[in-house]
């Protein structure tokens, strides 16, 4: 597989270098919203949408900044645009599906300061992806995030019934689970090589 083929970019972000489990991007929502499968699914959808929007915006801004030799303003511009994109998705969801907004309401602001979203924009810039490659990258990253979130939520729903030592309840336990998932995902390395 060519290193810059679309399928490789997608697969790489989706499984091999999963944003959450191997790059540690977006851990806050990962630990916070993975309690129930239904919430996890909604959160995943919101992240995928915001990723598409911010990836597209970031591509446009970067082209503009490079054109005018203003690369040093990149970070500030990305942050501003991504924050606005999240505001947009928040308003859109509020309008379209008030029920979904009630479930996600408190988590949407979390996406704004989510490293997964900004990380996506930065990595696609560092790797000089073309526009179509950016789309494949964000689809893979968003899908991978949702996959990890769903797996984690499934595990945690089962875990409610388990008897674990008192001190390791909460975050520590979630992290250990994430570590095991991450170990499992390491098996995807070498895929398609």
Partner 1 sequence: MNDSVPIPTLPSPFRLIATLGGIAMLSGLLVVMAYEVTAPHIARNRREALQAAVFEVLPGATVRSNFFIDASGMLPLPDEDLARANLFAGFDDDGRLIGYAIEGAARGYQDIVRVLFGYDPNREIVIGFTVLESTETPGLGDRIGVDPAFLANFTALDVSLTDDATALRNPVETVKQGEKTEPWQIDGISGATISSVAVGNGIRDSATRLLPLIRQHAGGSN
Partner 2 sequence: MPPPARPAAPMNWETFTQGLWKENPVFVMLLGLCPAMAVTNTAMNALAMGVATTFVLVCSGLLVSLLRNIIPKQVRIASYIIIIATFVTITDYAIQAISLDLYNALGAFIQLIVVNCVILGRAEAYASKHPVFNSLVNALGMGVGFTFALLCLGGVREILGSGTFFGVMLFGERFQPWSVFVLPPGGFFVLAFWLVLFSTVRRARERREKEAAHAA
| Residue 22 near partner 2 by CB under 8 A | yes
The single residue among 21, 85, 151, 152 that binds partner 2, judged by CB under 8 A, is 21
Asked if 165 interacts with partner 1 (CB under 8 A), we say: no
Q: Which stretch binds partner 1 (CB under 8 A): 8-16, 45-53, 95-103, 153-161?
A: 8-16
Query: Which residues are CB-neighbours of 131 under 8 A, at least 6 positions away?
Result: 59
- Burial (CB < 10 A; 0-12, 13-18, 19+), residue 67, is exposed
Nearest-angstrom CA–CA distance, 20 and 141:
9
Contact 100, 42 (CB under 8 A): yes
The one among 68, 72, 158, 165 contacting partner 1 by CB under 8 A: 72
Q: Which is nearer to partner 1, 107 or 129 (CB)?
A: 129
Contact 110, 116 (CB under 8 A): no
**What b-and-e string marks burial along 108-126, b requiring 16 or more CB atoms within 10 Å of the CB?**
bebbbebebbbbbbbbbbe
Q: Which residues bind partner 1 (CB under 8 A)?
A: 1-3, 8, 12, 16-17, 72-73, 76, 189-190, 192-193
Q: Which residues bind partner 2 (CB under 8 A)?
A: 21-28, 31, 72-73, 75-76, 79-80, 83, 113-115, 118-119, 122-123, 126, 167-168, 171-173, 175-176, 178-180, 182-183, 186
């Amino acid at each position: 597989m060519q290193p810059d083929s679309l399928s490789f970019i997608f697969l790489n972000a989706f499984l091999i270098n999963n944003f959450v489990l191997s790059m540690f991007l977006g851990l806050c929502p990962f630990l916070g919203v993975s309690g129930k499968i239904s919430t996890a699914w909604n959160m995943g959808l919101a992240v995928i949408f915001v990723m598409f929007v911010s990836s597209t915006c970031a591509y446009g801004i970067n082209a503009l900044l490079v054109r005018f030799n203003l690369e040093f303003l990149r970070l500030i511009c990305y942050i501003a645009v991504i924050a606005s994109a999240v505001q947009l998705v928040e308003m859109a969801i509020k309008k379209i599906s008030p029920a979904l907004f009630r479930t996600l309401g408190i988590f949407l602001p979390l996406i704004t300061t989510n490293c997964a979203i900004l990380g996506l924009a930065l990595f696609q810039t560092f790797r000089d992806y073309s526009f179509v490659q950016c789309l494949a990258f964000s689809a893979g990253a968003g899908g991978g995030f949702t996959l990890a979130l769903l797996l984690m939520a499934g595990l945690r729903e089962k875990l409610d019934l388990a008897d674990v030592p008192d001190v390791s309840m909460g975050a520590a336990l979630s992290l250990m689970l994430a570590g095991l998932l991450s170990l499992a995902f390491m098996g995807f390395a070498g895929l398609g090589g």
